[in-house]
């Protein structure tokens, strides 16, 4: 019998690079990398502030002792760069974690807020407010418009996809893609009706950017990220179960449709808060979860923290590149999300992707 039951090792392989106790070490490394990226991003720019001074300013502010700081450094670090860098970190972390949730939600590796229509919907809302004017909409601001549109889009996707309260993966994808296309078409139409000075604002919503992010932009997405992450982290086992099919997940005691509804609401609300401050930043939510999975495997209790840290670091670096490479001009962050992300992904695929079984 032993010939039946054992099997030579050549064909099988470990599915990922980091496992077991090394995972903790990975988290520490990634956290250190994030701190380093934040430090570098605050330090570098048109005026370079030494890393020591960066931390001095930050720590002084934390301990409420801002007397005696160099006013110029204080302004650059605390008022201009740090909020933008932290917004980048929060947006990167949020998009990545949302991507993990959505990819499990529809059991599809291509899922991200774009695919489910939420980002295009939010962009349409923002562009509509820009074109029509806030006053015509009872003072609804651009961010309010984006948020409301994101929630409405989610509701539309849900209503189209559900059948007597049941949400299946294929219908969700189709509904999301359909609603997304409609939103993109409507956005194009609105764009044609606008004058050139409105166009710059519209481009921000379509391409996504962190330029001009201030402290006031940080609060809502940060709170949403914190709440969303806490909830998602408690759902690691359920997310795993979703990946093995609806019936099998039900077999493991997951109320699949109820869980999908909750997952859709949580990820959509998180997306709405992110789109409001960063516009339609693509790619991050799609790719970072894959990069995380290539490193730590498919287990969501490891994928979530890894994606969170990698995504935050990634977007901080992307934003740094977008404002320093062509100084003093800013380049769209979208150029760098793909320009940096794709080579990393290809390298990881190369390292781990031999003998793929499915």
Q: Which residues bind other proteins (CB under 8 A)?
A: 4-7, 11-16, 19, 103-104, 107-109, 233-235, 237-238, 240-248, 250-256, 293, 297-299, 355-358
* Smallest distance, other proteins to C-beta of residue 294, A: 9
Q: Toward other proteins, which CB reaches closer, 249 or 320? A: 249
* Smallest distance, other proteins to C-beta of residue 303, A: 8
Identify whether the C-beta of residue 43 lies closer than 8 Å to the C-beta of residue 37. no
Residue that has been written with the tokens 């979860």 in this structure: 289
Q: Toward other proteins, which CB reaches closer, 40 or 243? A: 243
Q: Toward other proteins, which CB reaches closer, 20 or 64? A: 20
Question: CA-CA distance, 35 to 43, in Å (whole number)?
Answer: 12
Identify whether the C-beta of residue 291 lies closer than 8 Å to the C-beta of residue 344. yes
* Smallest distance, other proteins to C-beta of residue 203, A: 35
* Smallest distance, other proteins to C-beta of residue 289, A: 9
Q: Toward other proteins, which CB reaches closer, 242 or 277? A: 242
* Smallest distance, other proteins to C-beta of residue 251, A: 3
In sequence order, the β-bridge partners of residue 166 are 163
In sequence order, the β-bridge partners of residue 163 are 166
Q: Toward other proteins, which CB reaches closer, 4 or 197? A: 4
Q: What is the largest CA-CA distance in the chain?
A: 79
Query: How many CB atoms within 10 Å of residue 24?
Result: 10
Q: Residue 340 has which token pair?
A: 């940096």
Question: CA-CA distance, 42 to 148, in Å (whole number)?
Answer: 33
* Smallest distance, other proteins to C-beta of residue 87, A: 29
* Smallest distance, other proteins to C-beta of residue 252, A: 4
Question: CA-CA distance, 174 to 124, in Å (whole number)?
Answer: 19
Q: Toward other proteins, which CB reaches closer, 197 or 358? A: 358
- Sequence-separated (6 or more) residues with CB below 8 Å from residue 181: 120
Question: CA-CA distance, 48 to 329, in Å (whole number)?
Answer: 16
Question: CA-CA distance, 274 to 98, in Å (whole number)?
Answer: 10
Q: Toward other proteins, which CB reaches closer, 27 or 233? A: 233
């Amino acid at each position: 019998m032993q010939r039946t039951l054992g099997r030579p090792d050549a064909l099988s392989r470990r599915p990922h690079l980091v496992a077991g106790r090394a995972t903790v070490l990975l988290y520490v490394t990634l956290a250190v990398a994030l701190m380093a990226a934040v430090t570098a991003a605050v330090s570098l720019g048109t005026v370079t502030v030494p890393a020591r001074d960066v931390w001095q300013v930050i720590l002084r502010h934390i301990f409420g002792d801002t007397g005696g700081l160099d006013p110029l450094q204080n302004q650059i670090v605390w008022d201009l760069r740090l909020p933008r860098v932290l917004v980048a970190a929060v947006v990167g972390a949020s998009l990545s974690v949302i991507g993990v949730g959505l990819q499990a939600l529809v059991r599809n590796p291509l899922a991200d807020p774009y695919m489910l229509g939420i980002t295009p919907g939010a962009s349409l809302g923002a562009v509509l407010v820009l074109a029509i004017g806030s006053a015509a909409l009872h003072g609804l601001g651009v961010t309010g418009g984006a948020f409301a549109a994101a929630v409405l889009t989610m509701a539309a996707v849900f209503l189209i996809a559900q059948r007597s309260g049941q949400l299946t993966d294929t219908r969700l994808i189709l509904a999301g893609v359909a609603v997304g296309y409609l939103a993109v078409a409507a956005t194009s139409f609105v764009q044609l009706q606008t004058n050139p000075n409105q166009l710059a604002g519209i481009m921000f919503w379509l391409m996504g950017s962190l330029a001009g992010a201030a402290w006031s932009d940080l609060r809502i997405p940060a709170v949403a990220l914190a709440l969303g992450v806490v909830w998602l982290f408690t759902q690691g086992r359920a997310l795993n179960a979703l990946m093995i099919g609806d019936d099998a997940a039900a077999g493991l005691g997951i109320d699949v449709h109820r869980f999908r509804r909750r997952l859709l609401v949580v990820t959509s609300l998180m997306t709405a808060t992110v789109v409001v401050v960063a516009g339609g930043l693509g790619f991050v939510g799609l790719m970072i979860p894959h990069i995380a999975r290539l490193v730590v495997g498919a287990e969501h209790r490891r994928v979530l923290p890894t994606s969170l840290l990698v995504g935050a670091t990634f977007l901080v670096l992307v934003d740094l590149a977008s404002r320093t490479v062509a100084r003093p001009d800013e380049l769209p962050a979208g150029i760098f999300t793909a320009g940096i992300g794709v080579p990393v992904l290809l390298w990881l695929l190369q390292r781990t992707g031999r003998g793929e079984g499915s």
